[in-house]
């Protein structure tokens, strides 16, 4: 399973089956190894977490760009 998780608040956005068709559709086959390491994280049960952004965080970012700086500060 690909599990989409918001990289800002950690909420699960959605799941997709881990098939070659889906991988191609998502463009994962075209990512460099480094990009895959950044975007994809393997979970303990063989699932792969995909970093994305949920709607509410996207809205928050659109409203306040400082949110970006805050995130960098926390990390």
Using the rule CB under 5 A, which residue among 3, 6, 26, 40 binds Zn ion? 6
Query: Is residue 9 close enough to count as binding Zn ion by CB under 5 A?
Result: yes
Task: Output the six-digit token pair for 8.
Answer: 């800002």
CA distances in angstroms from 63 to 8, 27, 34, 44, 67, listed in the order given: 15, 29, 31, 36, 9
Per CB under 5 A, contacts with Zn ion among 41-70 are 54, 57
Residue placing its CB nearer to Zn ion in the complex, 23 or 40: 40
Cα→Cα distances 4→12, 35, 63, Å: 6, 16, 23
Q: Which is nearer to Zn ion, 9 or 22 (CB)?
A: 9
Chain positions contacting Zn ion, by CB under 5 A: 6, 8-9, 54, 57
């Amino acid at each position: 399973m690909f599990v989409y998780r918001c990289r800002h608040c950690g909420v699960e956005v959605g799941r997709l089956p881990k098939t070659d068709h889906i991988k191609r559709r998502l463009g994962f086959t075209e990512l460099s190894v480094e990009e895959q390491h950044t975007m994809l994280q393997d979970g303990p049960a063989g699932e792969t977490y995909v970093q994305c952004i949920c709607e509410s965080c996207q809205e928050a970012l659109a409203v306040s760009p400082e949110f970006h700086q805050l995130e960098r500060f926390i990390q």
